[in-house]
Chain A
Amino acid sequence: MKNIRNFRNFCIIAHIDHGKSTLADRLLEKTNTISSRDMTNAQILDSNPLEQERGITIKLHAIQMEYVDKSNEKYTLNLIDTPGHVDFTYEVSRSLAACEGAILIVDATQGIEAQTISNLYLALEHNLEIIPVLNKIDLPSAETTIEAVKKQIIDLIGCREEEMLYISAKKNIGIDAVLDAVIERIPPPTGSIDKPLTALIYDSNFDSYRGVIVNIRVFEGEIKEGDEILFMQTGMTYQVEEVGIMQMKRLRVGKLSAGNVGYFTASIKNLKDTKVGDTVTLAKNPATTPISGFKEVKPMVFSGVYPASTDDFENLREALAKLVLNDSAISYEPETSNALGFGFRCGFLGLLHMEIVQERLEREFQQNIVTTVPNVQYKIITNSGEIIFIENPAQLPNPAEIREIQEPIIKAEILTPSDYVGNIMKLCLDKRGISTNIEYLSEDRADLSWELPLAEIVFDFYDKLKSVSRGYASLDYDFYEYRKSDLVKLDILLNGEPVDALSSIVHRSKAYEWGKKLCTKLKELIPRQMFEVAIQAAIGSKIIARTNVQALRKNVLAKCYGGDISRKRKLLEKQKEGKKRMKQVGNIEVPQEAFLAILSLDD
């Protein structure tokens, strides 16, 4: 029986490329969890190729290590990974809630960066013990920057200089000191094996043989195979089948007690039944209160996802069903579009989540898909007082029947170096924002609070914020309320026919400008074809902008090539391949990018 005093649960907070994964790999080696011989080039924690490419973690991972310190005392270390993007703030907060401490790793040549700060603040909110670590001290350029970086960290977390560790994860310098600090500074878990079971679900994933694998941190009591458990938020009960810990592979250990981190299975078929943040307790001897901080994760951004070829609808349905097994944050409902045929309206946590899902559908499930412009969920109050929510602009009732349209407003926290405050205020005003507070955290760092329509955020706000602040500002947001707004539906007509998949809901003050820009953008994207294509933007029956794509005048390989017909045929086949990514809307060929044209209106 391990003593609860010998557990340490922690995570690593870092900016991309500051060395989080390299440090994690070194810890795994030092604790003999993995031998350096087994290391591949890819880092252990980023196991999804998409994650490796984008340098972000999408799904959470955790790993248990055994460490014997200088006094020959044996410790169990649980390293819990955190995803690194604004769309997943809630997931980050839950994995932080499973820890008692965090290693803050900062590149000694770069200094602390925006992305790190919001996670660091979350960690401080959870009262985690922070171990500041300066990485890459072996680089010659670190000599000139290190003093400034030290000062930054001291300003930010109020630590003493002596508390900082200096390492090079790449060169394997200073790693022992990190492990010792984890043991010495991070408090051991508190909790009693005798109390009723209280465990936090910080992540779950789906295994086709065992059903849902639920990753938990046990705070009180004990969970063992055969227990009948209760999920306190959903009220569902299950019989536990397998309990184990994560090392390089899952290791079945039969039970987990207070202070430990691991997983269990219970023949749970649906990932949606295991909500991140839910509390697991025993059905027969339940805890009195669930762990605080639970939130129902709701999709915030919606988009149509259609098969590029109408024949592939069933394949897409199967692919989505499988994807949802691994990502319960996605919602999907079948819908039809006159332009795109049968498809699905999918809900995502945010834009990045949407991109990831689309990319996974294409790469892992080989689906050739067309996606529509993302939008938010609008609340419509009709003349008869009925309230309806719509997730697709095409569903907007006739304006004559609408008393008011409300849109979701978020509260945004933007942390930025003071130099960029002006730029950011301008950006937020442009996005119909209302400033509610400005606080200077230090002389060169400001915390801006804004209320912003979510619809303005989902397009390109994050990229713009990064660009006006040279990448330094960070964003965190949360749903606030639905608010009445003067919104109109902007339709796009091709040769006089409205194309529902190109409709969007926009603020009246921006409709004209958008209509014009959208027409121009579509003109660039829609290739010339046999017949002229008229592009119009309309609000109701009123045309507010128009342009046209001239008819194609030439596409022929006229030369005879002395009877070499095969060559002509092959050239035509090549053209035919090129046309495959076009969607047929009536008689018009529309490239798939056109359905996302709004996203790149400012380019």
Chain B
Amino acid sequence: MTIYIHIPFCISKCNYCDYYSIIANKEAIKKYINSLQTELIKVASKYRNKEITSIFIGGGTPTSIDADHIVEILNKIKSNFNLSQNCEISIEANPASNINFSKLKETGINRISFGVQSLNDEELRFLGRIHNANLAKETIKEAKKYFNNINVDLIFSLPIQTISSLENTLEQVLELDVQHISAYSLVFEEGTKLYNLLKNNQIKAKDNDEDAFFYNYIANKLKTAGFVHYEVSNFAKSGFECKHNLIYWEHKEYLGIGAAAYSFVDGRRFHNIKDVEKYCYLVDSGFSPIKQTEALSKENIYMEKIFLGLRSSGIDFSILSPQQQKFCETIVDKELAIIQILSNNMKILKLNSNGYFICDEITLKLLEMNS
């Protein structure tokens, strides 16, 4: 099992972001951290026998709060759960000059993920980021003194982005010599500033073909630079694939702690209430903060295995019907996927970069043949 800790605080809201995050004062943050620890201790008793293989502290911006809070939380986890020998402990961060890297390293964090998004200042302003390209680079250089497993998050297909500005960003990122890169195509989520601009025709989204062109450009460039494309949006130097990330795609268990955190444990998916104040109130009064639970049916599980597998490490041939297997051969013919035989003789269908970008289409085809 893995643990996800949600820190829903940011210094400001970005133009594209629809995740639950708020801008709060120190008092409120302190209260939240206390409630989060209460929840942690309360659920720990249920999962004492499960080994924790990774911890991910995400947000929001976890590094925007006092590093001592992170230390507190990790200490609570260490004393209440059974952590594996080489447990991956990641934290999300945004470029800033005041991050206490040494404290984070000291408390056991061994992977850091930066929300860089772009290394073009105009694009950063468009996204509503509060850092510029230079600060991003300086922050990462500083982090490298402490960590040898660093991720850079990028967003592509911005309306104002060109192939040359994308190339420029990628080259600068490669120069930083990080181990992991995530590249997400910009999504105009309802309720965000960019969504409203799009709706009012003030900006124009890239169409799917342009988007695919940008995506392929990134995939090729990173492949040449020695990265493995191991999930739709994720690239890593061999051995640096994010364990926590893979958990989601491999249909394995994760326990989310904190407001708006999602969990998948014992065949059930559930998530906590979003609102921080309500979350604190429920936890502090001894109630469960879980807002909704979904027990997965056999069909749900089958569907998840297909679509999660296709978007990452592949799907096991043995769960496919002969008709589906035949279809898999067609997509291999069309150079959208490869068939891998693992050392244990397991046969796997794994999409390549071309296949990843239409993986929902391939999923639907496979599901249709099953129904």
Contacts and interface: CB of A to CB of B under 8 A. Distances in A.
A88 B215 CA distance: 59
B304 A565 contact: yes
Of the listed residues A552, A563, A568, the one surrounded by the most CB atoms of chain B closer than 10 A to its CB is: A563
Interface in A539-572: 552-560, 562-566, 568-569, 572
Contacts of B245: 560
A298 interface: no
B331 A572 contact: no
A587 B330 contact: yes
B150 interface: no
Contacts of A554: 208-209, 211-212, 215, 357-358
Interface in B147-185: 184-185
Contacts of B254: 563
Nearest to B368: A579
Nearest to A580: B368
Interface string B194-228: 00000000000000110111010000000000000
Contact of B364 (A553, A558, A562, A579): A579
B19 A562 contact: yes
Of the listed residues A558, A572, A579, the one surrounded by the most CB atoms of chain B closer than 10 A to its CB is: A558
A388 interface: no
A33 interface: no
Interface string B342-368: 000000000000001111111111011
B187 interface: yes
Contacts of B331: 530
A585 B6 CA distance: 48
A480 interface: no
A556 B264 CA distance: 22
Contacts of B367: 572, 576
Nearest to B269: A566
A531 interface: yes
B308 A572 contact: no
B304 A575 contact: no
A562 B208 contact: no
A145 to B, nearest CB: 46
Nearest to A568: B307
Contacts of A556: 232, 311, 356-360
Contact of A563 (B184, B264, B307, B356): B264
Given A530-B331, A553-B212, A556-B358, A563 B368 contact: no
Contacts of B334: 530-531
A556 B260 CA distance: 24
Interface string B82-99: 000000000000000000
A66 to B, nearest CB: 60
A529 interface: yes
A563 B256 contact: yes
A559 B187 contact: yes
A569 B262 contact: no
A227 B331 CA distance: 72
B304 A562 contact: no
Contacts of A579: 364, 368
Contacts, number: 97
B271 interface: yes
B262 A557 contact: no
Contacts of B209: 553-554
B330 to A, nearest CB: 7
Q: Please tell me the size bucket of the interface on B.
A: 35 or more
Interface residues of A, number: 25
A562 B362 contact: no
A555 B367 CA distance: 15
Contacts of B266: none
A76 B365 CA distance: 66
Interface string A526-538: 0001110000000
Nearest to A566: B269
A555 B359 CA distance: 6
Interface in B262-316: 262-264, 269, 271, 294, 300, 303-304, 307-308, 311
A565 B268 CA distance: 11
Contacts of A559: 184, 187, 233
B239 to A, nearest CB: 21
Nearest to B330: A587
Contacts of B4: 562-563
A531 B337 CA distance: 13
Given A572-B364, A576-B368, A579-B364, A555 B358 contact: yes
Given A565-B248, A569-B304, A572-B307, A529 B361 contact: yes
B275 to A, nearest CB: 16
Interface string A491-509: 0000000000000000000
Contacts of A568: 307
A162 B102 CA distance: 107
Interface in B326-348: 330-331, 334, 336
A562 B331 CA distance: 30
A553 B353 CA distance: 11
B187 to A, nearest CB: 6
Interface string A209-233: 0000000000000000000000000
Contacts of A563: 4, 248, 254, 256, 261-264
Contact of A565 (B184, B264, B330, B356): B264
B198 to A, nearest CB: 17
Nearest to A579: B364
A562 B269 CA distance: 13
A568 B331 CA distance: 23
Nearest to B369: A584
A552 B58 contact: no
B363 A565 contact: no
Nearest 9 interchain pairs by C-beta? A553-B212, A563-B262, A554-B208, A555-B361, A555-B360, A554-B212, A558-B233, A555-B358, A558-B232
Interface of B: 4, 6, 19, 58, 184-185, 187, 208-209, 211-213, 215, 232-233, 245, 248, 254, 256, 260-264, 269, 271, 294, 300, 303-304, 307-308, 311, 330-331, 334, 336, 356-365, 367-368
Interface of A: 529-531, 552-560, 562-566, 568-569, 572-573, 575-576, 579, 587
25 contacts: A529-B361, A530-B361, A530-B365, A552-B358, A552-B361, A553-B212, A553-B358, A554-B208, A554-B357, A556-B311, A556-B356, A556-B357, A558-B187, A559-B184, A560-B245, A560-B248, A562-B260, A563-B261, A563-B262, A564-B271, A565-B264, A566-B294, A572-B307, A576-B364, A579-B368
